[in-house]
Amino acid sequence: TAYASRCKEASKRQGIDQLVEELASQGITATSEQTGGFTMCAYMPLSDSRYIYANPYGAGLYDAEGFLSDIVQFDEPSASAVASAVAQYLSKEAI
């Protein structure tokens, strides 16, 4: 569909595809999702009510009520640094 095509193009242009690949290289499953207005993010569900949204500038923790806290934020985009920070956060959460 045209909508799916626009989402796919936006995900690539905004660096989300690269971030999803970087997360996968860290063993983290993520999908590209639209958060509104063709603003894309990498989505990582943690439980029924908690999840991580990320883009090449950072990542945040959310629950059913909304934003909880930043995991990491950068002034310049770096998909590999965001992926590494998310992996580090998830390894600490598993303890």
Segment 68-89, tens digit of pLDDT: 999 999 999 999 999 999 999 9
Q: Does residue 40 register a pLDDT over 90?
A: yes
Mean per-residue pLDDT, 42-58: 95
Q: How far apart are CA 47 and CA 50, in angstroms?
A: 5
Q: Which of 7, 3, 65 is nearest to 40 (CA)?
A: 7
User: For a pLDDT cut of 90, what percent of the chain falls above it?
Assistant: 92
Burial of 86 (0-12, 13-18, 19+ CB in 10 A): buried
Question: Is residue 31 pLDDT above 80, yes or no?
Answer: yes
